[in-house]
Amino acid sequence: MEEELLFRVIIVGDSGVGKSCLLLRFSENTFNEQHTVTIGVEFGTKLVKINNQQVKLQIWDTAGQESFRSITRSFYRRADGVLLVYDVNSKESFEGLSYWLGEIRQHATSDIVIFLVGNQVDLTESENSREVSQDDANAYKNFHNLCGFKETSALSGFNVNETFHEFTNILYERWN
Ligand code: GDP
Ligand code: MG
Residue 100 near residue 11, CB atoms below 8 Å: no
Would you state the pLDDT for residue 155? 96
Q: Look at residue 3 and tell me whether its pLDDT is greater than 70.
A: no
Would you state the pLDDT for residue 152? 98
ipTM beyond 0.95? Answer: yes
Strands (E), the chain: 5-12, 41-50, 53-62, 81-87, 113-119, 148-151
Indicate whether residue 38 lines ligand 1 (CB < 6 A): yes
pLDDT band at 97 (very low <50, low <70, confident <90, very high): very high
49 C-alpha vs ligand 2 centroid, how far in Å?
26
Q: Please, which residues bridge with residue 98 across strands?
A: none
- What is the pLDDT averaged over residues 25-45? 75
Q: Look at residue 35 and tell me whether its pLDDT is greater than 80.
A: no
Indicate whether residue 93 lines ligand 1 (CB < 6 A): no
Q: 160-175 vs 19-28: helix axis angle to the nearest 10?
A: 90
pTM of the model: 0.93
β-pairing verdict for 53-62 and 41-50: antiparallel
Q: Look at residue 110 and tell me whether its pLDDT is greater than 60.
A: yes
Would you state the pLDDT for residue 147? 97
